[in-house]
Amino acid sequence: MPVQLPVRQVRDEILRAAGGPVYGLPSSSSRLAGALFHEIFGDLLGSDARLHARAALPGGNASAEEWSAGLRDHIYRLLLGPRIEANQAALQTATKEVMDLWDSLKGLAQWLATILHEAWRTGAFSTSGDGGEGLMISAEEPLTWRLQEPGWTDSVDVTGVADVVFRLPGSDRWCVAELKTGQSAREADLAQACLYHQMLAAGERTPGSLALIHFRPQLEQKVFSPRELRPVEARLKALIGRLAGVIPGPEPAAHAPAPTPQPAVQPAANKQEHAELGRRLVAVFREYNSPAELLGDPIVGPAFLRFPVQPARGVRPESVRKLAGAVQLRLGLQAPPFIHTAGSRLVVDVARPDREPVLFAAVRGQLPAADPILGCSQLPVGLDLEGNLRMADLADSADCHLLVAGATGSGKTEWLRAMIAGLLVTNTPQTLQLLLVDPKRNAFNDLAGSPYLWGDRRIIYPDEVQPVGVFDRLVDEMEKRYRVFQAAGVDHLAELQRSGGRLPRIVCVCEEYADLLFGDRKEIEERIRRLGQKARAAGIHLVLAVQQPSREIVKGALQANIPARVGLRVTSRIESKMLLDRSGAEDLLGDGDLLFKDIGEPVRLQGLYLPPAERRVIFGGA
């Protein structure tokens, strides 16, 4: 079986060699300039592209500059504005990042309007929906490149998603464009773009030029011919072989990067059954007058198969989404498929009959290394479809506090335990302290007496200790830390630690937050509001879990101050919308199947399972 290698891992190694940051270190700036930018770009070139064009672009003999201005205004009012409002909690302290994002979007409007205007001028593009066949352009294009070089011990499949591919009028050659929203290592940018160009060449389309486009600090476009890329392509093949571990030779030196770890969950062997399921799936869409075609093989996750589909011309994505119930009946599925948008693609997630759990031990090697002084502020959320562990960073304003929701059988308690285990194995009691509130009395018993427990090393049971008093202790600790920061001349916990101060990060985990509200709702919500607004810089974080994310619980203190959401299976569409601002969590499969939302659209992940024996070792041996 070929070794699977995502483009992201190649990109990370290129950036390390160039001395730049890697994707594995998330920040609000990179999230805003990445996730939201590409989401808006996907909207502009997705299935409703011509609707956006008709709304944004002036007709007649308008100039390219007027097209750019119209598109810029359209992006600001209808695409960026609603997303800023939806992510208000996460963007409270991200003014610079939002301005950088807007600068990038203005550059995008200028670049895209230039292409569309030229196509319109030559008769190859029409905003009326008739014609327009001369210009072909697609955002978020999935690509695969299989390599088998002489001397390699196995073949390698490099997979990724190119920002945009397009074919200009009158040409049979397809171009690849890589979009960059900020300052980065130019050599690494070129190598990554060259990688996508080679992946396009491996398909059926004839590759043309490659465009590397930077939108900040000003619009800059560089175009490379295939001949200019050949030296870079040769070095890329050598790098890919080394990362995949398929080049035989002596053991790597200590400073050399380790071979790429294999995904924790291997793909199911029977691809023929998966292909047959895909054919039956599109047959149902045709039967209900919403034809769509499959875009390649399904992506195999631990809990489901993901089929990317492209609705036929004139078929709106909403009409396909409404067929989930019909697909379940026609295909005899135990659960309705989850039909939604991922990036700019419509995808259909169908439950696997041979579902596999993701064990904590299988991905433990993907956890970040602990810093003896700073500890580690990142916690595991779940595994994505590429076998990569998605982390949330408590030090980041987008992930500083989390609201976790899931009904009975969703895997909520198991998710909390795996999250805590991830923090424990990357910290010491000197860098991390836990405040555990357990109304159920059975979620965290293995941590009783642990040196990681804050204060008197007790788990808090609300029938023994007043919850208001517990949160008052956290508020007092927060204010005390701000006085320490002021005296030391620093602004937040990391600065204090780097200057020699020693204060642990405190994570408060409440297994059933709703139970705390019965007696002192107003007082508790006031404490949560204060902690949500100020505690991040002090190194104090809230992870609040509920069974039912109802309006009464989510609205108010949580809505405005808890930015990150982990949605496991809930009981209704209304609850999903309250938690994630969209439906979908009601269709999840349970047992750790989840949607994670911080900035941008929710991402579907599989939570980790920590078996009892391993849990006792990690919790009891801490």
- Tell whether the model's pLDDT for residue 444 goes beyond 90: yes
Contacts of 161 (CB under 8 A, 6+ apart): 7, 140, 141, 142, 143, 343
CATH architecture observed for domain 3-244: Alpha-Beta Complex (3.90)
Q: Stretch 470-490: mean pLDDT, rounded?
A: 94
Q: How far apart are CA 184 and CA 385, in angstroms?
A: 27
pLDDT at site 579: 93
Residue-averaged pLDDT of the chain: 82
> Higher confidence at residue 564 or residue 87?
564
pLDDT at site 62: 81
Question: How would residue 580 be classed by pLDDT, with cut points 50, 70 and 90?
Answer: very high
Domain boundaries, the chain: 3-244, 277-351, 399-620
pLDDT at site 191: 75
Residue 116: how many CB atoms within 10 A of its CB?
A: 24
pLDDT digits (tens, 9 = 90+) for 345-402: 889 999 887 788 899 998 988 898 888 888 999 999 999 887 889 999 999 888 999 9
Question: How would residue 622 be classed by pLDDT, with cut points 50, 70 and 90?
Answer: very low
pLDDT digits (tens, 9 = 90+) for 177-220: 888 776 666 666 777 778 888 887 777 677 778 888 888 777 88
What crossing angle do the helices spanning 513-534 and 467-488 adopt, rounded to 10°?
A: 10
- pTM value? 0.66
Most confident region among 21-25, 84-88, 277-281 by mean pLDDT: 277-281
Distances (CA, A) of 6 to 62, 158, 211, 260, 261: 43, 6, 21, 10, 11
pLDDT at site 209: 80
Q: What are phi and psi of 155, to 5 degrees?
A: -85, 165
pLDDT digits (tens, 9 = 90+) for 325-340: 999 998 888 888 999 8
The percent of residues above 70 in pLDDT, for the chain, comes to 85
pLDDT digits (tens, 9 = 90+) for 598-607: 877 889 999 9
User: Which helix (H) or strand (E) is 41 found in, with range?
Assistant: helix 37-45
> Higher confidence at residue 260 or residue 559?
559
Q: How far apart are CA 383 and CA 389, in angstroms?
A: 5
CATH of 277-351 among 3.30.465.10, 3.30.980.40, 3.40.250.10, 3.10.180.10 = 3.30.980.40
- Tell whether the model's pLDDT for residue 57 goes beyond 60: yes
User: Which helix (H) or strand (E) is 159 found in, with range?
Assistant: strand 156-167
pLDDT digits (tens, 9 = 90+) for 499-520: 888 999 999 999 999 888 877 8
- Tell whether the model's pLDDT for residue 95 goes beyond 70: yes
From the centroid of its chain, how far is CA 196? 20
> Higher confidence at residue 583 or residue 14?
583
* Assigned CATH for 399-620: 3.40.50.300
Per the CB < 8 A criterion, the answer to whether 138 and 164 are in contact is yes
pLDDT at site 21: 44
Q: How far apart are CA 614 and CA 271, in angstroms?
A: 33
User: Residue 362: what residue type?
Assistant: A
pLDDT at site 266: 38
- Tell whether the model's pLDDT for residue 253 goes beyond 90: no
